[in-house]
Amino acid sequence: MVSWSGRRKVLTILAFIGPTILGILALNIYPIIYNVYISFTNRNQYHPNPDCSIFLTSIIEPGCWPMFRSDAGLGTPYVLQDPLLENYDSLIGKLFTGDGVLAMLRLVLVIVPLIVAGQVNKRLERQLDRQVPSYLVWLGGIALTVLLVWVLDAGGAMKTLQDGSAFFIVIFRTLLFVAITVPINYIFGLILALILNGEHIKGRTFFRSVMIIPWAASTMFIIMSLIWQFFFREQGTINQIIRAFGGEGTAWLANGNYAMAAIILVNLWFSFPFCFNIILGSLQSIPVDQYEAADVDGATYWQQLVNITLPLLRPSVLPAIVLSAIGAGGFQMFGTVWAMTAGGPSQGAGVPGATELVMVYAYKQVFQFNAYAKAGAFAVIIFAFLFIATLYSLRVTRITKGAYE
Amino acid sequence: MSRRPRPLVMVLQYVFLGFMTLFALYPIWFVIIASGRVGSRLYTLNLLGMFIPTEWSFENYQLMLSGTPYPFLTWMRNSLFVAGLTTVACLLIATSAAFAFSRFRFYGREFGLVLLLAIQAFPGVLSLVPVAQLLTAFQLYASHWGLILAYTVGNLVFTTWLMKGYFDTIPVEIEEAAMIDGCGPIQSFLLVGLPMAKPALAVTALLAFMGGWGEYVFASVLIPAPDARRTLMVGMYSLANTQSIPWGYFAAGAVMTIIPVILVYTYFQKYLVGGLTLGGVKG
């Protein structure tokens, strides 16, 4: 590009990205700093107000800034916690006692055989004539895992951890939710895309247009979730169908496991069109001659799928998968759960409800229990996790390249 | 893959397609049926009514449009206002930032891009309290302008990435030619970059608009009351959260909210799919 430098360059660039920086500073960075600070205090329903005579508080609280200064409301002001990490301790402290660490170690050990199996398979893949088929390796890994679950008493370890902290329950449940819902969404998307990419299907345009509809509706997830919630009610569609066949339905959303399954199903409805479109898009960019060559070599459909299609889909689909997993359709799922179950059904006082995922838990802590400080500590831990996950996803996607590289 | 699959496979494929079509369409179809049924219940106790319209009247629609007891049209106007201005602000701010990130080389460019995305990872729900406090200080709390501000910044990173992804695919040579002819960077942006980015602008605008149109959590917290100032999603949610839910009215409102969006999405289908794969960021 034509060279232009010095002050003019700085000013021009600032003019272009200045507003963005300002907005991000005020409404993204400031909340992060605020949450970090508040997580060290005891701000809750009993101590809701800032004490402007404390230096840090007077900087961080807009209500303390000279131009906005207003009389503080009733109630005692919040102060820094005495052991400074009190909130963090109450959230994850119990995980780091002797019992907790031991239990976590046992859980980690249980999945080691699966990781080893994956690595062994990768190694074997590079050999020209592999003697051991991959399913045997996987079977071995799974068998070993099952054995370890039994030997190490993984169930007991889980129980130790869950009794210890609501934090663990919520995180573990959310990770489990992501591990189930994201693959389901993408598998349905993949099957659909594979079918609709074939030339023998009639009405392909029609089907593609149909699949757009849930995508459009998913932008108004609150309304659609409320409608879906209706299907699962005691007098809802599903129970009526069951009754028509002589069965007896249940109140689906009053049962923890069913409620979770319902949310996964609704999330599938919201998400599969996106997955389908992403996969179809990259399927169409695979050159046909690859398949023609494979046909000449006599490869079956499944061999072509495993050895051509899936590997070529990987670079464009993997980023989407990672982003789904850490985004609003995965780890940060909120709206659908909120509209369908609001985190319930309840599992007893003080214990998170059966569908209380990370964001629902945080929302409840803030807006139902006014536990600002505790929620702040929670936010900081979650953010650390999401920050790393995002950086990892960037490594996978390599989308930071500019026009010149 | 030019071989014709076996008949059995073909049948299975059509069965799967049919199943997915039903799955995709049924909830929408169901709301449409329910919206034509008088009474406060979404369901009849006969099974047939769940699948085909056994009765039809426009009473629910009339009531929703009449403004009492639910100010539906006001909600809709609020949402249009908020989402519309969010879109305009987003396009103005994000497009220029995206152009700079794509075309200018400056210290911290790549770092800034990554930082934007990583900061965005902070969950929105948890930044609500500080955002609300900040808006209160600036007297923007409980006002549509505060909501627009929050939405604009909330959409900023995603739209910047989307637009940058598109600018990256436009060859630089054209702008270089313009600059040799004497265009400054701002002129080359306005006269060359923007006109070429029209398809991406359309997609970005649509997604930013839908972001504001369908958002619920921020709207419910930042605009607590009164009823007349609520946005559509908050209003509809409050409708479904009353003691005896007026399902018929809810369904009529839902149809009037959802169908236009579906039509727009169907119309923009090609651009949407293309835009998302180009930007590489989820919408």
Distance CA B187, CA B190 (A): 5
Contact B161, B117 (CB under 8 A): yes
Contact A119, A134 (CB under 8 A): no
Split at pLDDT 50, 70, 90, the class of A185 is very high
Contact A185, A270 (CB under 8 A): no
Q: How many CB atoms lie within 10 A of CB A306?
A: 12
- Partners of residue A324 in chain B, C-beta under 8 Å: 282
Distance CA A259, CA B207 (A): 30
Task: State ipTM.
Answer: 0.86
- Partners of residue B2 in chain A, C-beta under 8 Å: 199, 291-292, 295
Split at pLDDT 50, 70, 90, the class of B278 is low
Using the structure block, give the residue that is written with the tokens 């900081």.
Answer: A380
Chain B (128-167) residues lying within 8 Å, Cβ to Cβ, of chain A: 128-131, 133-134, 136-138, 149-150, 152-154, 156-157, 160-161, 165, 167
Q: Over range A228-239, report the average pLDDT.
A: 82
Half-sphere exposure of B26 (CA within 13 A, CB side): 16
Min distance A268 CA to chain B CA atoms (Å) = 10
Q: What is the pLDDT of residue B279?
A: 46
Q: What is the pLDDT of residue A405?
A: 35
pTM score: 0.86
Min distance B233 CA to chain A CA atoms (Å) = 7
Q: What is the pLDDT of residue A187?
A: 93
Q: What is the pLDDT of residue A2?
A: 43
Partner residue facing A220 (CB), from B123, B157, B214: B214
Distance of CA B172 to the CA centre of its chain: 31
Buried b (16+ CB within 10 A) or exposed e, B90-122: bbebbbbbbbbbbbbeeeebeebbeebbbbbbb
Q: Is the peptide bond before A345 cis (omega within 30 degrees of 0)?
A: yes
Distance CA B242, CA B224 (A): 16
Average pLDDT, chain A: 81
In chain A, whose CA is at the least distance from the CA of B79?
A: A220
In chain A, whose CA is at the least distance from the CA of B164?
A: A402
More confident residue, B170 or A294: A294
Q: Is the CB of A404 less than 8 angstroms away from the CB of B281? A: no
Q: What is the pLDDT of residue A269?
A: 93
Chain A (44-83) residues lying within 8 Å, Cβ to Cβ, of chain B: 61-63, 65, 68
- Partners of residue B264 in chain A, C-beta under 8 Å: 216
Most confident region among A65-69, B36-40, B42-46, B144-148 by mean pLDDT: B144-148
Q: Is the CB of B101 less than 8 angstroms away from the CB of A4? A: no
Task: Tell whether A296 is within 8 A of chain B (Cβ).
Answer: no
Partner residue facing A68 (CB), from B50, B113, B137: B137
Q: What is the pLDDT of residue A163?
A: 72
- Partners of residue B274 in chain A, C-beta under 8 Å: 281
Tens-place pLDDT, residues A257-298: 888 999 999 999 999 988 898 888 888 888 888 888 888 888
Q: Is A77 helix (H, G, I), strand (E, B) or coil?
A: strand
Tens-place pLDDT, residues A362-405: 898 888 888 888 888 888 988 888 888 888 777 766 554 433 33
Partner residue facing A277 (CB), from B25, B250, B273: B273
In chain B, whose CA is at the least distance from the CA of A63?
A: B137
Q: Is the CB of B106 less than 8 angstroms away from the CB of A68? A: no
Q: Over range B246-266, report the average pLDDT.
A: 87
- Partners of residue A62 in chain B, C-beta under 8 Å: 133-134, 136-138
Partner residue facing B123 (CB), from A63, A359, A391: A359
Tens-place pLDDT, residues B56-79: 888 888 888 887 788 889 999 999
Distance CA B185, CA B115 (A): 25
Split at pLDDT 50, 70, 90, the class of A192 is very high
Tens-place pLDDT, residues B31-46: 888 888 776 555 555 6
Task: Tell whether A375 is within 8 A of chain B (Cβ).
Answer: yes
Q: Over range A153-170, report the average pLDDT.
A: 76
Distance CA B148, CA A395 (A): 33
Length of chain B: 283
Tens-place pLDDT, residues B88-142: 999 989 888 888 888 888 788 888 888 888 888 888 888 888 898 888 888 888 8
